[in-house]
Amino acid sequence: MKLKSKRVLVTGADGFIGSHLTEALVGAGCRVRAFVYYNSFNSLGWLDAVPKSRLKGVEVFAGDIRDPSGVREAVKDMDAVFHLAALIGIPFSYHSPDSYVDTNIRGTLNILQASRDLELERVICTSTSEVYGTAMHIPIDEEHPLRAQSPYSATKIAADKLAESFHLSFGLPVAIVRPFNTYGPRQSARAVIPTVIIQALSGYDSIHLGSTHPRRDLVFIDDTVKGFIKIAEADRAVGEVINIATGHDLSIGELAQKIIDVTGSSGRIVKDKARIRPPDSEVDRLLGSNAKLKKICGWVPKNSLDEGIRNTVEWFREGGNLKRYKAGIYNV
């Protein structure tokens, strides 16, 4: 399936990955409908930070992924859907698991039902590496057991299995994209890289973090977006779960020090008890295999971690972007 000239819906288009994906799909010649979370401020989330010239022709649909009627209206007349709308903060899932069930499971079901009834050509559902839990073998391939170490990951496992069931039961052309830790411009401060950059560029003497021992496989946003598009266009990806990963990892402590060095900060890393997850909930290591993505789609990451961090830090330094964030709080 070639995406050029196709009518494409992106749910969660107001989010970090969703805003970049929307921008890339426009550049690829798609006719894009951007599903954003309705709010009385008329905020389009991170789409508001994208130059209007890069969003030419985008149709904005404000709604709620939990509402089946609104979702059906958004899916109508589309050829394909990239489903990214979700609640993703792990600490907040400890506090409000019901909202994760409603958004991540029910929201995915709404997309699947509407896509089946309206006979879409392709449905791309977004998973997360968190569904694997702490690595039982390295690198983590798509056959690795699933382990819910947080309410968030439990709801994403359920959503993945719903998507799988709609493919096996009804022949819905679904592909499940499982990104490892994506980072880059426009990421929220609930993620570790923006958290460190914000504190470092704000001149803090102490850089507050939670656990520094966990290891993560970090993928720059441009590479993740290219992975999404390649998976959507690959007929062999239908019915498959596919990782987007670099095959390399490092500890949070090593990552934080790398960012401190790039920013020129003199801040020292301090463990903040409020940011530490419950011991059995912490995923200690995520290192992904990208062999399947390479084989099916010919994807390889183009951006090294050093390049990606430099690009991300530069974005925070540009045009008042740092002011979009609240440096002095723990963003859950």
User: Can you state the angle between helices 252-263 and 305-317, rounded to 10 degrees?
Assistant: 50
Neighbouring C-beta atoms of residue 69, cutoff 10 Å: 11
Residue 261's φ and ψ, nearest 5 degrees, are -65, -40
pLDDT at 50 over 80: yes
How far apart are the C-alpha atoms of 319 and 316, rounded to whole Å?
Answer: 8
pLDDT at 328 over 80: no
What is the mean pLDDT of the segment spanning 6-24?
Answer: 98
**Residue 271 — very low, low, confident or very high, per pLDDT cuts 50/70/90?**
confident
**Residue 80 — very low, low, confident or very high, per pLDDT cuts 50/70/90?**
very high
- Which residue type does 27 have? G
What is 7-182+218-244's CATH topology? Answer: Rossmann fold (3.40.50)
Task: Tell me the residue length of the chain.
Answer: 332
Report CA-CA distances (Å) from 253 to 227, 256, 257, 270, 304: 28, 5, 6, 10, 18
**Residue 331 — very low, low, confident or very high, per pLDDT cuts 50/70/90?**
confident
Predicted model pTM: 0.96
Q: What is the mean pLDDT of the chain?
A: 96
The position carrying tokens 């589309």 is 78
How far apart are the C-alpha atoms of 332 and 329, rounded to whole Å?
Answer: 9
pLDDT of residue 332: 79
